[in-house]
Structure 1
């Protein structure tokens, strides 16, 4: 049995995979069982910042262990991957804020959606990373396709000025579709995803979806869309499946805590998207340069430094431009996280 634990799976001993998932399980149990047993309590900005720092510290500690056990290169690749994934997840936070604002989900109920959304994201990211690893290890030219996609995505992000409106329109279409094909309530029933109410024709109690269920589907859909950018981005940094997976999961684990901190001041980060676009373009170009000029090798620490500088620059410039409390009009208007009804006009299926 002990010998089995030292057998390799996806390039690393099985015990390393089991140990990592044990850590993740304990963290989720700690979050569920101790931190948020009271479902009626809102998560404030101060608590959100503390939780974000807690998860980030654990991610960095795990990176320190990788540096010590697997070597400096693996450690640098892990840290670069963690920073890139955490950076890209910040953009995901703003899309989630749009979804919650559109559906009128109050802050007290948002943490339940985010919790189940992150659990689903862990599974979905695992599947996507597994698929990406299989493709990369079968044919290294797939990295070139990843690089081209990242450059395209970054340029598109730079020139796009209507992404928030697009998210709102997508949510509106999804809500209209759901109301045509399912029974969906106009209001919430506590923090339930499904509730029982009388059928409008027979009066018999039947199951209805609540707006909270629609929010969960949209949040998971948004994560899949963002994973299309983030998974190729980290494979462009390293092809070590263990490093890719662990840095990705640690990055999204603190997403729920990060949301409540950023959503309260979403208007202050008007230029963050520009920084994220430049990060995607840089990572894509790094692969293109490495393939075109085979003698040029860009070390993982360079990716880490460039990512940190671009991210910090985007945040600092955004805070400076919005220091008087005014957001540039060209960036559009953020939707508030306070509750309001925003799913009108739908008919019950």
Structure 2
């Protein structure tokens, strides 16, 4: 009976594949919080790069498993999705750094916000991907809507350029400050503290700026998911590949953040490259129709996507090689 359940179909794949993936994610989260960062401390750039390389290696290794288990096309679709999602996650670092700067979050507590933020991402992406998979399975034309949205988003990103989001007058932050009791400063790593109300003298619960930073990080991911979820669905509609490539790309974001935050200015041309990738991914479905193809070749899609992103990273490093401080 137990073996039958393990091989039972769940969203197009046997249950043991989903359980194995979720087991890996759970083990990584426990190892991260319970072993590597059991005590609050600052994460140095060298440690950040090392941990990030481990997460990237695990993500690629899982792609190798998919290639072996499900075939070359599924493997290439996973790798394409992983590369795109990883690049979108890198773009997310720019916004997270801005949020931490706005709320003056000490570096020693930033990992705590990122850890709980990642847990929220895992749940939110599961919900959004589940909804997306249902829509695509019921209404195939939704893929064309996703594709058109990606093209528009990519063009908009190219048009806006490096314009940063404005947090000082953000209506969500204003709303939270008006509706919640917020402390003036940070209270260590606490999201909530109990203290005397200055007006009544009674003990009341207050939220800290660290909690507001967590809320904004979660909201930022929702905004980025609006781009990333349609992007991966135009690459593949397989829920297993969609979700696993998303989560493996995001899992290493915490580790990579502390290295990238110190050299964000070196990736000046990453966003334009990402915009071009979104336009390319969105246009694939229309190109395939024009050429009379069932779908755009997975190998060609992976090659073009990787080439665009690699060119953006290379050109950024070349053009900013003499820069020592962010512009």
TM-score scaled by length of structure 2:
0.96
- Aligned pairs (5 A) from 1:164-313: 164=164, 166-169=165-168, 172-295=170-293, 297-313=295-311
| Partner residue, 2:158 | 158
- Aligned pairs (5 A) from 1:317-336: 317-325=315-323
How far is 1:43 from its partner? Answer: 0.6
Whether the aligned pair in 2 keeps the contact of 1:98 and 1:167 (CA below 8 Å) is no
- Structure 1 residue runs of 5 or longer lacking an equivalent are 328-332, 335-349
C-alpha root-mean-square deviation of aligned residues, in Å?
A: 1.4
Alignment partner of 1:202: what SS?
coil
Alignment partner of 1:152: what SS?
helix
Separation of aligned partners in 2, 1:142 and 1:290: 16
Separation of aligned partners in 2, 1:134 and 1:239: 10
Change (3 A) 1:87 1:162: closer
| Partner residue, 2:36 | 35
- The number of residues matched between the two structures is 326
Whether the aligned pair in 2 keeps the contact of 1:193 and 1:210 (CA below 8 Å) is yes
Separation of aligned partners in 1, 2:125 and 2:104: 28
Matched, 1:117 2:117: yes
Alignment partner of 1:207: what SS?
strand
| Partner residue, 1:316 | 314
Separation of aligned partners in 1, 2:312 and 2:33: 33
Separation of aligned partners in 2, 1:242 and 1:84: 16
How far is 1:174 from its partner? Answer: 2.6
| Partner residue, 2:143 | 143
Q: Deviations over 1:193-219 (max 9, x none)?
A: 001111011111211110000000000
Separation of aligned partners in 2, 1:215 and 1:292: 46
How far is 1:292 from its partner? Answer: 3.2
Alignment partner of 1:163: what SS?
coil
Whether the aligned pair in 2 keeps the contact of 1:95 and 1:167 (CA below 8 Å) is no
Whether the aligned pair in 2 keeps the contact of 1:49 and 1:261 (CA below 8 Å) is yes
Whether the aligned pair in 1 keeps the contact of 2:285 and 2:295 (CA below 8 Å) is no
How far is 1:175 from its partner? Answer: 2.6
Alignment partner of 1:197: what SS?
strand
How far is 1:78 from its partner? Answer: 0.7
Alignment partner of 1:38: what SS?
coil
Change (3 A) 1:219 1:123: same
Consecutive aligned runs of 4 or more in structure 1 exceeding 6 Å deviation: none
